[in-house]
Amino acid sequence: MFSNPIAIWTLGLSVLLCACQNNQPSGTPAGDSTASLTESDTLNRMVLIPGGTFTMGADDAEAHPDEKPRHDVHVDSFWMDEHEVTNAEFAAFVKATGYLTTAERPISKEELMQQLPAGSPEPDSSMLLPGSIVFTPPSHPVPLDDVSQWWSFIQGASWQHPGGPTTNITGKEHLPVVHISWNDAQAFAEWAGKRLPTEAEWEYAARGGLKDQPYPWGTEALTTGKVKANTWNGHFPYQNTQTDGYFGAAPVKSFAPNAYGLYDMSGNVWEWCADWYDSRYYGLKQGDNPKGPAAGYDPEDPATAKHTIRGGSFMCTDEYCSGYRVTARMKTSPESGLENLGFRCVKNK
């Protein structure tokens, strides 16, 4: 995923991540929310997840180094949203608070210049307009180690305009809200009287009580039998056969839940966790109810602290990220918002 503004700048995408990081409601009306709300739209039922001890991480052939070593973790009982926070739910929060998301705030030239190498030219004022990073798939095969081939910074893109300023969320009230930074998710959770899940809570809940299984439904391959999750079908990123019925995000609860009654713990959109990401964390003694490391560390980008995201998205495939496995970890900076990144909340029992 995305990291610091300097790295994204080199891809022509950095302006998003340099946006103002204040995560408090701005007091300024957020403007043209297009979601048509009813009371039922804004209710996200919570499921009680019974506490217990489980083995976290993986050591199989698909496991990445940051999923190792496997280790036993205990988590207390907690409540978790049965599905990802929707556009309708987020619109209710914005209506009540006037909150502006990271993607909707003007970009600070001063902050941007502080994070660029000395001597860098000042950006043109047109580059300081707010926006977010949108999936723009190519029409042909591209190198899978070059994310600029399918991600573009689009001015005017935000949770209300997920594909750019000419798009909106009319009729998409039940899709997961996206283009949400970690700071935005935190603000929503605090307003709702909830919090973001720890990484341990998230994996424990995703497993649905199953032991040593790679997916929320067990061991059956994603492509075998009934469609189980919203992921990429075909060759990423240029061909999607839409075998699962969707090109992008699907309405929440479109696929069967896991044994705990949680929907979309695999695929659809990535989900923010409360924890900082540290690739070395699994090798440390954690104790019960671990809350993650004190600070973030990504060996691929040590200058930028990141938070963990989990669950994979509609862009995941065996060819690319296989992030829909319950143990798969990804990370991105707290200011990042993407078209395939959302969240769900938890609450203490």
Q: What is the pLDDT of residue 253?
A: 98
Per-residue pLDDT at 27 exceeds 80: no
- pLDDT confidence of residue 2: 53
pLDDT reading at 36 higher than 80: no
**Residue 172 pLDDT > 60:** yes
- State residue 28's pLDDT score: 34
- Band (pLDDT 50/70/90 cuts) for residue 191 is very high
pTM: 0.88
Q: Is pLDDT of 59 > 60?
A: yes
Q: In CATH, what number is assigned to the domain containing residue 295?
A: 3.90.1580.10
Q: What is the mean pLDDT of the chain?
A: 88
Q: Which of 151, 155, 162, 78 lies closest to 123, judged by CA?
A: 155
Average pLDDT over residues 131-148: 95
The total of other beta-carbon atoms located within 10 Å of residue 54's CB is: 17
Of residues 225 and 199, more confidently modeled: 199
pLDDT digit string, tens, across residues 247-277: 999 999 999 999 999 999 999 999 999 999 9
pLDDT of 56 higher than 50? yes
- Do 85 and 188 meet the contact criterion of CB atoms below 8 Å apart? yes
pLDDT of residue 342: 99
The structural domain count of the chain equals 1
Token pair recorded at residue 345 = 């909340």
Instruction: Encode pLDDT of 82-112 as tens digits.
Output: 999 999 999 999 999 999 999 999 877 777 7
The predicted model gives 278-301 an average pLDDT of 95
- Segments forming the whole domain that contains residue 279: 1-30+37-349
Helices (H), 192-262: 199-207
What's the pLDDT score for residue 44? 81
11 pLDDT more than 70: no
Mean pLDDT to the nearest integer, 64-72: 97
Closest CA to 103 of 176, 40, 158, 163: 158
Residues 6+ apart with CB under 8 A from 8: 2, 14, 15, 16, 17, 153
Specify the pLDDT at position 110: 79
**Confidence (pLDDT) at 266:** 98
Q: Which two tokens stand for residue 218?
A: 């067990």
> DSSP labels for 246-273?
-SS---TT-S---TTS---SSBSSEEEE
Looking at residue 3, what is its pLDDT? 45
Mean per-residue pLDDT, 123-131: 80
Q: How far is residue 78's CA from residue 347's CA, in Å, rounded to a whole number?
A: 6
pLDDT at 24 over 50: no
pLDDT tens for 331-345 read 999 999 999 999 999
- If pLDDT is split at 50, 70 and 90, which confidence band does 39 have? very low
Question: Which amino acid would we find at residue 346?
Answer: V
Who has greater pLDDT, 316 or 115? 316
276: β partners: 307
